[in-house]
Amino acid sequence: MKNTDTSKIKNIALAGQSGCGKTALAEALLYRAGIIDRIGKTADGNTVCDYDPEEIKRKTSINLSLASFEYSDYKINLIDVPGLLDFAAATNEGLYAGDTVIICVSAKSGVHVGTVKAFNAAKKLGKHILFVVTKIDDPNQDFYTSLQSLKDAFGAAVCPVIVPEIVNNQFKSLVHLGRMKSYTYDKKGVSVAADAQGIVLSEKEGITADSLLDSLSEAVAETSDEMMEKFFAGEAFTQEEISHGIHEAMRTGRAMPVFTVSCTNPAGCDLLLEFLKYMPDPTTAAALKATGKDGKELDVNVDPDAPLSAFVFRTVADPFVGKMSYIKVISGKLTADKELINATSGATEKIGKLYTMLGKKQTEVSEAIAGDIVVATKISANTGDTLCAPERVISIAPVQYPNPTYRMAVKSAAQGDEAKISGGLQRLLEEDKALSFGLDTTTKEQILAGLGEVHLDVVKAKLKSKFGVDVVLEEPKIAYRETIRKKTDKVQGRHKKQSGGHGQFGDVWIEFEPTDSDSLVFEEKIFGGSVPKNFFPAIEKGLQDSVKKGVLAGCPVVGIKATLLDGSYHPVDSSEMAFKIAASLAFKEGMKQANPILLEPIGTLKVTIPDDKNGDIMGDINKRRGRVLGMEPTGEGMTTISAEVPVREMHDFTMYLRQVAKGLGEFTFDFERYEPLPANLLDEVVASVKTDDEE
């Protein structure tokens, strides 16, 4: 690609509900721009943007994909992001890197949760928003109902620009309200234009092109006092004024244009491509928050004349190419073979080759200017790092990621693969920031956490395809504990064994009682030297080993104090080992007398949900043996509920919340303390713990 200037770069993120046609739209735009010679289909696994084997297998986007191309002297970076909630990390990265967000909406079904989430995320990041209604040629389309659902959800700023003419419930032509022209397309996407004055767009709703032009003119009028005066005077806007007004209204957020396309012939993609040229360039995007070398916060804008700064917004672990870092240049010019400072780590980073991407196809480039997006290979920088020129070192605020709440234990399907599992997951953790992986020190299990079942299933598949290792995902064990509820009389532990030569002899009397400490508290109150002091450490060690496994379910014992009161020894046969065994015998007997109970972990739940789901969630918390502590409105129709819930009951809460709140809920769950397990659950839990131990 030839060099261009920042004003001619357009970074367009394609977002929306899964299945709304984002990848199909990217395919149609690439075809209409002459970049590809045929339109691929997601169902056939031959699209430019869905090239990962898992995407082809599942027939849906699971990764961020970049398709960069030139059109009419403009550089367009299309960023196709997943619509599934399980892959929100890639979605957030794509929205962060884009300057304009095209939110795709199906003409069959209108606004969904994915539409709302994409809109909210784009608004939060200060992005320009454009709606594109797809699948207009589907026999079950209902465009004008979908358009109304957009207005109901996002307000009067929703502004139709390209709308369909529907005859006998079938798509006939597209009408450009700004030009008042209708365009009829053949199967190759070639159009014939005609005058649209007086055209009836939908007989069922009684909608005409003239009536929609009035609402478009109203949006244009709000862009300046001069245009408002002209509107109230009843003067018609010129085509140039409408075009300029739409772009200005979009830039300021006063209007969110609605375009209509078919991705099959591809009708309307020529009009959309023309419109994309006039999208706001990167310099008009909201300033990024950053921290200077002195620790002070500052705003950073896209500026080709400032010292170089570039942000790594995405990392891909490619088993053949190696580490691929997706970089957006914020200021200055990034060139190959340049040494930069990694503001996050402080290390010097040597940039090797740079590439633009068309799906998986790489094209080497020598440089990238401010506002552009490129890929660097085999650099050590990670997602969220800022690369800078030495004269201005800044750290740009990173992408925000959802909290991984769905936890599974990872086990090797074959012995000897543990190191490969760890290595493969570390590579995938670089790629997916909504994953976490680590050792649960209480259960000794390796725990993988993500956003849902599909998310972890894809991780499992990638481990096999990319790193050649099979894993099994299982529900994690619960870290139960045992304790005692009453003080015992002194309990004897006596170990005596004679087997020729020196025998073994140890004899202790120990008193056990509850305490607040999580670890064993050991004291001695020996009088008269019945047990020599040099055996005290061995007795304590025997008790420390014993508390690792209680008498009920073999769980660690907490909250116990042991006091050595008496005992006896043999001058020849007594040994440290004998006293360790004697102490363990006393422990087992003492636990039986001290009314042992099982403790279960309790966590603090904070769940934020739409107000109309409060009753459902509180009812579910009660079913999970939880206690609701309070409710707090958080604004925008959302409420945060605080509760305490047993960890045992929370494994499937991620999937339940997604089902009930339709993807609009989120939660955190943190360990708080241990509480006695209800007696009616004791037998079931003991059986499950012992089964896990046997495995």
Give me the pLDDT at residue 240, please: 80
* pTM score of the predicted model: 0.89
The two tokens of residue 21 are: 């046609």
Task: Go through the domains of the chain in sequence order and give each one's CATH number.
Answer: 6-284 (3.40.50.300), 288-396 (2.40.30.10), 406-474 (3.30.70.870), 482-594 (3.30.230.10), 599-694 (3.30.70.240)
538-561 tens-digit pLDDT: 999 999 999 999 999 999 999 999
Distance, CA of 86 to CA of 453 (rounded, Å)? 8
Residue 379: CB partners within 8 Å, gap ≥ 6?
323, 325, 349, 350, 351, 352
CB 76 within 8 A of CB 32: no
Give me the pLDDT at residue 226, please: 85
Distance, CA of 502 to CA of 486 (rounded, Å)? 39
Q: How many CA atoms lie within 13 A of 376 on its CB side?
A: 29
Q: Where are the beta strands (DSSP E) in 261-337?
A: 288-292, 297-300, 309-318, 322-331, 333-335
Distance, CA of 172 to CA of 150 (rounded, Å)? 22
CA 544 to chain centre: 42
Q: Return the SS3 of 570.
A: coil
Bridge partners of 171, per DSSP, are 166
Pairing of strands 9-16, 181-185: unpaired
For Cα atoms 112, 114, 119, give the angle at the middle one, nearest 5 degrees: 100
DSSP line for 48-81: SS--SHHHHHHTS--S-EEEEEEETTEEEEEEE-
First-to-last alpha carbon distance for the chain, in angstroms, is 58
Q: What is the Cα Rg of the chain in Å? A: 33
Among 64, 59, 58, 55, residue whose Cα is nearest residue 15: 64
Residue 693: CB partners within 8 Å, gap ≥ 6?
554
560-598 tens-digit pLDDT: 999 999 999 988 888 999 999 999 999 999 999 999 999
Give me the pLDDT at residue 491, please: 94
Bridge partners of 410, per DSSP, are 446, 473
Q: DSSP letter at 110?
A: B
Among 469, 97, 167, residue whose Cα is nearest residue 311: 97
Q: Which regions of the chain are under pLDDT 70?
A: 1-4, 499-501, 691-695
493: part of which helix (H) or strand (E)?
strand 491-497
222-254 tens-digit pLDDT: 878 888 888 888 888 887 888 888 888 887 878
